[in-house]
Amino acid sequence: MKVSVVAYPRLHFGLTDLAGATGRSYGGIGAHFRGPEVRVEGRADSSFALDLGPSHGDEETKVGDAALRARASGLPLSGSVTVLKRPPGHVGLGSTTATTLAVMKALAVLNRWTIDSRELIRLSGRGRTSAIGCNGFFLGGLIVDAGQPGGSRTTSYLPSIAPEGRSPSLFLGRWEMPTDWNVSLAFVNDPPTVNPGSERSFFEKNTPTADTDTLQQIADVFHGMIPALLETDLDQFGLSLRRFQVKGFKAREIAAQPQAVRVAIEHLWEAGIPAGLSSLGPTVFAVHGRGSFARITEVLRGIDLSGPYDFQNAGHELEIYNGPA
């Protein structure tokens, strides 16, 4: 048996409650698009082997840990799995989550695991701060989650790398992105703004945020971006996205970026283009109508761009070949 899995990147618009304002912690909003994908191939084998290709820092450990977690749960573990392609790591595209879930999906098929998507997410160890990438792997579109129960002004807010025992964040819903909207990217190939080893320290220094920011950001999600999607109102979507990104933890993520990144975001906003920083950056994204890419290049003159890409309103792609491996 041979299996092929393709997973698409995600944009993370931002985290919501890192203030203890709602009785929950974390949560977020983001969307998947048909950009630089993860491509994994698996072959049936009597032993287990994993080849991730060129190292992206800690990805090998995280993917390997997920496989061992499955074995510790009593699931059979065999097969040769190779990561053939993946986007840059730790730049805001969710590469680690997409890679981990693509590998786990390949193993699930090769070993005939009878588990659902929630259990596969749990075994992956991903999505413990915001589960946008995890749920989008299966569903595509725009994803919103509500983080973890609990939280206060004295809570230690941490990235998804810690603590180990945290469950995946609570999935709230999925909405389709309009098919006539595109997304273009800048700074994808720049090094991570916040080194993975420094993420814990960044969270500790920049949280808790203000209660009012959290409440306004939740309003920006549910009375702003989501209604704008349903009404296909790109201008309103852009206004709500900008209001969301200038507050709370996202504002602190943007403030930590190099000047070129911050200036690019400001120029896009000043031009009335829906735009923002994905996750901890440095990837900057701009959402625009079909045929409007030239306007993005004009606003971001001299900056290397990637795209335009369609949004991805479906989950991963899976092909299974049952002939000789």
Residue 160: the pLDDT is: 67
- Position 64 scores a pLDDT of 85
Q: Give the pLDDT band (50/70/90) at residue 274.
A: very high
Distance CA 219, CA 68 (A): 40
Least confident of 44-58, 110-124, 309-323: 44-58
Q: Which domain holds residue 194?
A: 2-321
State the residue for tokens 């989008």: 136
User: Residue 129 in contact with residue 123, Cβ under 8 Å?
Assistant: no
* Helices and strands, counts by H and E, the chain: 11, 14
Cα angle, residue 251 at apex, residues 240 and 239 outer, rounded to 5°: 15
- Among candidates 299, 227, 216, 225, which has minimal Cα distance to 250? 216
Instruction: Output the pLDDT for position 154.
Output: 76
Buried b (16+ CB within 10 A) or exposed e, 228-258: bbeeeebebbbbbbbebbbbbbbbbbbebbe
Residue 46 belongs to what H/E stretch?
none
pLDDT confidence bin for 9, thresholds 50/70/90: very high
How far apart are alpha carbons 190 and 277 in whole angstroms? 13
| Percent of the chain as helix, strand, coil, to the nearest 5 | 35, 25, 40
Q: What is the pLDDT of residues 26-83, one digit of tens each?
A: 999 999 999 999 999 999 999 999 998 876 566 667 888 899 999 999 999 999 999 9
Per the listing, tokens 């900057």 go with 284
Please, what sign has the CA dihedral across residues 266, 268, 269, 270?
positive
**Residue 202 to residue 217: CA distance in whole angstroms:** 20
Q: Which residues contact 106 (CB under 8 A, 6 or more apart)?
A: 3, 5, 40, 41, 42, 79, 81
Contact of 3 with 108, CB cutoff 8 Å: no
Strands 24-32 and 148-149 come out as antiparallel
Q: Are 37 and 74 in contact (CB under 8 A)?
A: no
Backbone phi and psi for residue 94, each to the nearest 5 degrees, phi listed first = 75, 35
- What's the pTM? 0.94
Neighbours of 165 (CB within 10 A): 6
Give the closest residue to 273 by CA, choosing from 302, 249, 304, 308: 308
Mean residue pLDDT of the chain comes to 93
CATH of the domain at 142: 3.30.230.120
Number of domains in the chain: 1
pLDDT at 197: 81
